[in-house]
Amino acid sequence: MSPRWTLPIVVVWLGMFVSVHAATIQISMENLVISPAEAAAKVGDTIEWVNKDILVHTATARNGDWDITMPPKKTVTSVLKKAGTIEYYCRFHPNMKATLTVAP
């Protein structure tokens, strides 16, 4: 097999591997609302926290598992390490609440 053909095959194989084992889930904060308010993920998945507001927001787990700060107009990523149903909120705007269910 010539090296010219090997690379695309490896890329496709890697793509399949990644999609089976971990996903990226986007959760956005816009106009002081977290959406989706209920999201499901698995341990190992990446959450892409998208802050569309001009204010700082946090995703603060009530059980203390994580506390992520999103500067205005920025996207922050975090990898889920623990399973559970996690209720979280924004420390600066406590009305912003949501739930993330993380399967093992």
Query: Which of 19, 75 has the CB closer to Cu ion?
Result: 75
Alpha-carbon distance of 52 to 45, in angstroms, equals 22
Interface of this chain with Cu ion, residues 40 to 69, rule: CB under 5 A: 57
Residues in CB range of 73: below 8 A, 6 or more apart = 51, 52, 53, 54
Alpha-carbon distance of 29 to 72, in angstroms, equals 10
Smallest distance, Cu ion to C-beta of residue 32, A: 6
Q: How many residues interact with Cu ion (rule CB under 5 A)?
A: 4
Strand partners, 60: 67, 89
Query: Which of 42, 93 has the CB closer to Cu ion?
Result: 93
Query: Which of 27, 57 has the CB closer to Cu ion?
Result: 57
Smallest distance, Cu ion to C-beta of residue 96, A: 5
Smallest distance, Cu ion to C-beta of residue 26, A: 17
Q: Quick one: which H or E segment has residue 76?
A: strand 75-79
Here's the x/- map for Cu ion, 74-93, by CB under 5 A: it reads as ----------------x-xx
Alpha-carbon distance of 4 to 40, in angstroms, equals 40
* Contact footprint for Cu ion (CB under 5 A): 57, 90, 92-93
